[in-house]
Amino acid sequence: MGRLSSPVRHSHSHENSNSSELEPSHSEKKFNVPPIHIELNPNDSTEQKIGRLSSECNIILPKLKNISRVHATLTYSKADNKIKLRCLGLNGLVVVFPRKLSCQLGRRDNVNPVYELSTDASQFNGHSEKEFIKHNDLSSFVLLKDETVYMPYIKNTIIDFRQVETFVTMKQLDYPEHEVASSNIELPSTPVRSFTEVNKEHPVISTPVRQQKRNELNRRKLESPSPIKKDSHHKHKQNKTQAIQKSESPEELIKNMNEKGINCIELGRVLANHLAFANVQQTPLSQLQSVNSKISTLSRSQVRALLHEEPCIGVIFRQGKDAAGKPLDEEYYYDLENDPDQERRNLVSSLKGGRTGLRSCRRTHKQYFWKKPAK
């Protein structure tokens, strides 16, 4: 197996190393996919699975070759404000703290590969320590397959899966400072370096003209009493508006979910990524409701509202019934041309090549009936 990604090292530690074996520092890495935010619930201590298998994991990662189906598990304990992170992926992972920590990473015993971050080195009983790299404003270490670590919760801690980054945050308010200090980890006064500062060399290019045009199209569709003929690139937006006009408007549903503390922007990004990197081009609504545990708690109308807000998601309405006599669900697909996320567009194009878009003839439902062959 090839060498794993290395944590951040001091500059003098590279003097005697072969330049061909060195990995770039964390601030110099280039990721082709947007970061994923892991929002911890302080009142929820259940284990969360992280990986690319949507049917089993709570936090879905892109389907990339270096990411396992279930790559890691994460559990948060409110009692001691600590995170239990276990690596299950073959390619391991890297944990990066956004500040310099004055502590040691030691092994609890010689039987199980369980490590812990602590300022008290005596509790390790002379067991071997794991390499813990400390930089001016970063601290990091590598976690290999079947290894477990207990570490304190620190906002914006990065779990790097080599091809995608995840940022660990706390739901609602951040953990109080006096409780963070109770974990016996000395935190210096160095400010946290935000994600925008780390990636300032690769800013996201906004397209105000495209956004203004899309907003104008949405306004005309919602205010118009009759359907307006548009080109094929915007037909799916008109269909999605007709699906939700029967009850509450998408804006009202999104507003109600935001008032309940639901992160609609993040859930919409999860649905868009699922459709963009799926093996099939069309996915029915019933399958999208089970993408992760948070979306599975929403109603069908709320999921439709989330899909409606994403400009890169199209809809195909179907008529008729299935073999069980139930009405057919509408199907949703990823529309590359209307995706404002340039990084996701480039990644989908590089992974799928020429089969990135859905043909125009497939964007309209056609009912097929079985006919008994003649004798």
Query: What are the residue ranges spanned by the domains of the chain?
Result: 11-189, 208-363
pLDDT classification of 314: cutoffs 50, 70, 90: confident
CA 65-70-74 angle, 5° bins: 125
* pTM, rounded to two decimals: 0.41
pLDDT in tens, 156-173: 999 999 889 999 998 875
pLDDT for the residue 354: 58
Alpha carbon distance 130, 149 (integer Å): 10
Q: Which fold has domain 11-189?
A: Tumour Suppressor Smad4 (2.60.200)
pLDDT in tens, 216-271: 766 665 555 544 444 544 555 555 555 444 557 888 888 888 888 888 888 988 88
pLDDT classification of 185: cutoffs 50, 70, 90: low
pLDDT for the residue 107: 85
pLDDT in tens, 42-75: 888 899 999 999 999 999 999 888 899 999 999 9
pLDDT for the residue 132: 87
Residue 251's Cβ-count burial label (10 Å; 0-12, 13-18, 19+) is middle
Residue type (1 letter), 104 = Q
pLDDT mean across residues, the chain: 75
pLDDT for the residue 93: 93
* Structure token digits, residue 360: 């125009």
pLDDT for the residue 141: 92
